[in-house]
Amino acid sequence: GENVEQHPSTLSVQEGDSAVIKCTYSDSASNYFPWYKQELGKRPQLIIDIRSNVGEKKDQRIAVTLNKTAKHFSLHITETQPEDSAVYFCAASKRNSNYQLIWGAGTKLIIKP
Amino acid sequence: DVKVTQSSRYLVKRTGEKVFLECVQDMDHENMFWYRQDPGLGLRLIYFSYDVKMKEKGDIPEGYSVSREKKERFSLILESASTNQTSMYLCASRIQGLNEKLFFGSGTQLSVL
């Protein structure tokens, strides 16, 4: 069935370094790819999203890239800071449904001081 | 900003009890969702509602039902709670339309003993 695979499950980086989280999706009809950040004890919040008609989108230190041919998309965080520590979820829109997303399992990002 | 409020942050129930989880949003959103969050499994959709009195099953509806009598309120019901329903439950809402941003509640951590 349709699924989204997310890697790695845990990522530890030194403060100031870059972090990359990767997701692969199975449904070639998916056309929307959001990323949500969930800090410890808090609700998930949308941080960036990309639609299938663009290959890259940036917002300050965060960027997302999309490779439709390979069916994968990635979240890039540059100059990481302690407040970037969180669980990050990727998702992809589900075929024939404007209501549902298929979610990755999440990546716990740890920023080491 | 949108406010999505879940009635309880922590809940402890006994096996076999009927459990009600309430979610209220204040931005007149048409779509509302109930997710279950378990470590390593990401967010799994239980039920969603695209408008008042409308409901559709998600990926894991077994053992759950929902009610949407008013636009702002979406209730999740565990007919007979079981220990495998111990989990974090997240409610979300969004406006009607393709690929719109989800707004999440703070979550209810349910423990079934």
Residues of B in contact with A30 (CB under 8 A): none
Q: Does B105 have pLDDT greater than 90?
A: yes
Contact B48 A105 (CB under 8 A): no
Q: Identify any residues that bridge with B36 across adjacent strands, giving them in sequence order.
A: B44, B89
Task: Tell me the C-alpha distance between A52 and A55, whole Å.
Answer: 7
Q: Do residue B98 and residue A89 have CB atoms under 8 angstroms apart? A: no
Residue of A nearest to B94 (CA): A99
Task: Identify whether the C-beta of residue B17 lies closer than 8 Å to the C-beta of residue B75.
Answer: no
Q: What is the DSSP letter of A84?
A: G
Is B98 close to A98, i.e. CB distance below 8 A? yes
Nearest to B8 by CA among B27, B31, B24, B29: B24
Answer yes or no: is pLDDT of B71 > 90. yes
3-state SS, residue B86:
coil
List chain A residues with CB under 8 Å of B88: none
Rg (CA), chain B: 13
Residue A29 has pLDDT above 90, yes or no: no
User: Would the pLDDT of B107 be above 90?
Assistant: yes
Model pLDDT for residues B9-41, shown as the tens digit of each residue:
999 999 999 999 999 999 999 999 999 999 888
Nearest to A99 among B50, B104, B105 (CB): B50
Sign of torsion over alpha carbons A96, A8, A61, B92: positive
Predicted pLDDT at A96: 65
